[in-house]
Amino acid sequence: MNILYVEDNKINAMVMDKMLSKNNSNVFIAENGSQALKVVKEKNLDLILVDINLGLNQMDGCELLERFKKLDYLENIPVFAVTAYAMPGDEQRFIKIGFDKYFSKPVNFDKLLSAISTIGVS
């Protein structure tokens, strides 16, 4: 499975890469929205994981999702929010915006892997 993880925190990116790689996934890391938009053009992806806060003066994960939704070749690719936003109502807010699933940090990898296992890979 080819997974893009959009995350500006290098440690979080490294942990996610290590965990998903153990599950035989190829993980591509983008530190910001601009890098993510390049990766989606270049790689055949099965899943995109997006942090919401991608740093000062950068597009955030919600803006990035909006751009992804405009790209025809991503229309069948699920996009999961992976975020430190974990207050009551945050999950519903991000699902309503258009994310397919929501995971708060620190990520419960068993739940994430379970959600990933439901994705049909072509």
DSSP secondary structure letters along 26-90: EEEEESSHHHHHHHHHHS--SEEEE-S---TTS--HHHHHHHHHT-GGGTTS-EEEEES--STTH
Report yes or no: 47 and 3 within 8 Å, Cβ to Cβ.
yes
pLDDT for position 3: 98
Rounded CA separation 68/66 (Å): 5
Structure tokens belonging to residue 8: 């500006």
- Contact status, residue 26 vs residue 71, Cβ threshold 8 Å: no
What percent of the chain stands above pLDDT 90?
93
The model's pTM is 0.95
Beta partners for 80? Answer: 49, 101
CATH number of 2-117: 3.40.50.2300
> What residue ranges of the chain have pLDDT lower than 50?
none
Q: Report pLDDT for 121.
A: 62
